[in-house]
Amino acid sequence: MTQLSIKCFFDEITNTATYLIADTESKECVIIDSVLGFEMASGKTSTALADDIIAYVTTQHWQCRWILETHAHADHLTAAPYLQEKLGGTLAIGKHIVDVQKIFKPIFNFEQTFISDGRQFDRLLTEGDVLNLGFFEINVIHTPGHTPACVSFIVDGNAFVGDTLFMPDYGTARCDFPGGDAAMLYHSIEKILSLPTDTKIYVGHDYKADNRDYFAWQSTVAEQKSENIHLKGDVVLDDFVAYRNKRDASLAMPKLIIPSVQVNIRAGHFPKAEDNGLQYLTLPLNALK
Distances (CA, A) of 248 to 61, 146, 180, 242, 251: 44, 11, 11, 10, 5
Task: Give the separation between CA 210 and CA 212, rounded to whole angstroms.
Answer: 6
Q: Which residues pair with 93 in a beta bridge?
A: 124
pLDDT-derived band at 1 (thresholds 50, 70, 90) equals low
Q: Answer whether residue 277 is part of any domain.
A: no
3-state secondary structure of 137: strand
> Range of 217's domain?
4-264
Residue pLDDT, tens place only, 108-165: 999 999 999 999 999 999 999 999 999 999 999 999 999 999 999 999 999 999 999 9
The count of domains in the chain is: 1
Q: Answer whether residue 30 is part of any domain.
A: yes
**Cβ contact 233:53 at 8 Å:** no
**Cβ contact 123:68 at 8 Å:** no
User: Rounded to two decimals, what is the model's pTM?
Assistant: 0.96
Q: Name, in order, each residue with C-beta under 8 angstroms of 213's C-beta and a sequence gap of 6 or more.
A: none
**Cβ contact 201:221 at 8 Å:** yes
Task: Give the separation between CA 30 and CA 46, rounded to whole angstroms.
Answer: 21
Q: Answer whether residue 213 is part of any domain.
A: yes
pLDDT, position 288: 79
Q: DSSP per residue over 48-115, as a string? A: HHHHHHHHHHHHHT-EEEEEE-SS--SSSB--HHHHHHHH--EEEEETTHHHHHHHHHHHTT--TT--
Q: Which residues pair with 194 in a beta bridge?
A: none
Q: DSSP per residue over 12-44, as a string? A: TTTTEEEEEEEETTTTEEEEES--BEEETTTTE
The enclosing domain of 92 has a CATH number of: 3.60.15.10
Q: Answer whether residue 32 is part of any domain.
A: yes
Q: Answer whether residue 287 is part of any domain.
A: no
Q: Answer whether residue 228 is part of any domain.
A: yes
Q: Residue type for 14, please?
A: T
pLDDT-derived band at 289 (thresholds 50, 70, 90) equals low
pLDDT, position 287: 83
